[in-house]
Amino acid sequence: MKHCIDKFALPVLTILAVATLAVAENAPRRAQNGMVISQTEVASQVGADVMKDGGNAVDAAVATAFALAVTHPSAGNIGGGGFLVYRPASGEPITYDFREMAPAKATETMWLENGEYSYERHHLSHLSVGVPGTVAGMHLAWSEHGSLPWERIVEPAVRLAREGFVVSDGLARSLNRTMERMGKYPATKAQFTKNGEPYEAGDILKQEDLAESLVRIAEKGPAGFYEGKTAKLIAEEMARNGGLITEDDLKAYRAKKRAPIRGTYRGYEIISMPPPSSGGIAIVEMLNILEGYDVAGDGFGSARNLHRMVESMRRAYSDRAQYLGDPDSNPDMPIERLTSKEYAAQLRRTIHPDRASKSTPESFEWPTESPETTHYSVVDAERNAVSVTYTLEYGYGSGIVVPGAGFLLNNEMGDFNGGPGLTDETGLIGTAPNLAAPHKRMLSSMSPTIVAKDGKLLMVTGSPGGRTIINTVFQTILNVVDHEMNAQAAVDAGRIHHQWLPDVIRYERQSFSPDTLNILTWLGHKMDERTNQGSAHVIVLNHEDDWLEGGIDRRSADTGAASY
């Protein structure tokens, strides 16, 4: 079998070399001072303007978050949560965990109906809403590192909500696709349709209730969201519809600072998010495994490299399933071992060069995390860097707009396991690390990551995409470090995904040579073609001239960069 790989690797790599060179000709955006890349050009411009007015990367990141809550309602939010990784130009990096939390009345059996698991209760009801964390997390990061007044940071989002913005073709299509699901909520229908008629590209979308909620946040900080009128409106919506969140739950929410996951790869420093995100651990584990191979020499897209990458993914996702969850509820997670070079060497010895491993569904297939997350990357003129991934879970979250408050609520409780003992072949599981409990944070795949070299910033990366996030971010790092791609080429390059279970490689259409795909099948891998994976937003610092290079993911509509 090894002879088979050797026989076909050279022509496959020759074919791919042409494709890679063509991708590399797609020049990245360049900027001398600061840059923001996010899911909408409007939000990116808000962040860039903040830096132009004297703000730093954290100021810009917070302003971008609030602007996305207006212009990218499928995932930008104040009713959801996420993670922020900050690497200052000097000093130690830090992360901010503003993942949603379960309300005080949550139980591990709350999605059972007459003893049977209910997908509707778990993912599409008021019970699926977790206590939001975005406002608290953004304020905590700003209070410790921001330089402009809080009101200045939030004001652009207020203006966009009140005065409106032009609906793009992408947003119009997105709203129309999801309106059947969300239309059962009158406040949602009122906000995202024109008296029941769908928005069209070129229309102006105004959101007055959202503007007033943002004003309260601008004036009072977190208290303007977690207390007072907004909190009351959320709690009333929950009480009317069988939800669990109370005003006490909202008032008790706190964002948390956590030490980042840190690793090295070929002399580059990897800085990423710790649990309750699984991303940082999995990325470091996979990179440690690949460090023992000649990834650059074997070339982008070769069957040998893809096989090794898949086997690394398989092992990291298996460990994710078995060990990871909310650190406050699972204090004994073996993080040091999972991210060690020694452990990676052990795993590497279990990878066969001439055949695929087999994933067995013992009990660790996890519930689906929606691809409708959003990521953005920020670097300022001083080279402070911020990587942020946040979400509502499904596209437009629960679909529930809080009446009178104008923002969508998440359905992140769906990221908890369905209930104890529910493991079956459909993907339900009931293992303890990620069962719901009062005030517990659900496990996530969000992976905001920063890469440095010799004490100097190199790269800011991240992506939406549910459980594919980890592998998308992993591959953007390989593309820059091993394959020496510029930021745009690293984003454009084809992607693969394997998550242990189901035991299948998902690959992007027309991204890899048919010969390569045939070899992977010959090795025993099951293959599944997909249209696209993720939407990576990458900034790379070119060390030759100290300019920033931005990679914009054209897989998604409306993505934009802004700089000054």
Contacts of 30 (CB under 8 A, 6+ apart): 547, 548, 549, 550
Other Cβ atoms less than 10 A from the Cβ of 34: the count is: 26
Cβ partners under 8 Å of residue 13, min gap 6 = 298, 299, 301, 302
CA–CA gap between residue 304 and residue 16 (Å, rounded): 13
Sort 392 into a burial class: Cβ within 10 Å, 0-12 / 13-18 / 19+.
Answer: buried
Measured CA to CA, the distance from residue 276 to residue 441 in angstroms comes to: 7
Q: Which of 64, 373, 389, 472 is catalytic?
A: 373
* Alpha carbons 491 and 536: distance in angstroms, whole number: 6
Q: Measured at the alpha carbon of residue 493, what is the angle toward residues 492 and 498, in degrees to the nearest 5?
A: 120
Contact yes or no for 37/552 (Cβ under 8 A): yes
Closest CA to 458 of 488, 487, 483: 487
* The pair of three-digit structure tokens given for residue 113, joined into one six-digit string: 């109906």
Distances (CA, A) of 201 to 77, 436, 498: 22, 41, 36
Decide: 290 and 268 in contact? Cβ < 8 Å: no
Q: Under a CB-based contact definition with an 8 Å cutoff, are residues 479 and 489 in contact? A: yes
The whole-angstrom separation of Cα 69 and Cα 330 is: 32
Rounded Cα–Cα distance for residues 137 and 6 (Å)? 51
188 catalytic residue (yes or no): no
Amino acid at 149: P
**Pairing of β 35-38 and β 560-563:** antiparallel
Residue type, 320: R
How far is it, in rounded angstroms, from Cα 541 to Cα 450? Answer: 11
Q: Where are the alpha helices (DSSP H) in 99-246?
A: 119-123, 134-145, 150-163, 169-182, 186-192, 208-220, 223-226, 228-240
| Tokens of residue 27, six digits | 């020049």
Alpha-carbon span 135 to 219, nearest angstrom: 13
For residue 294, give every residue at least 6 positions away whose Cβ sits within 8 Å of its Cβ, in sequence order, or none.
none
Which tokens go with 289? 């495994």
Distance CA 314, CA 317 (A): 5
Q: Which strand (E) or helix (H) includes residue 2?
A: helix 2-24
Active site residues: 373
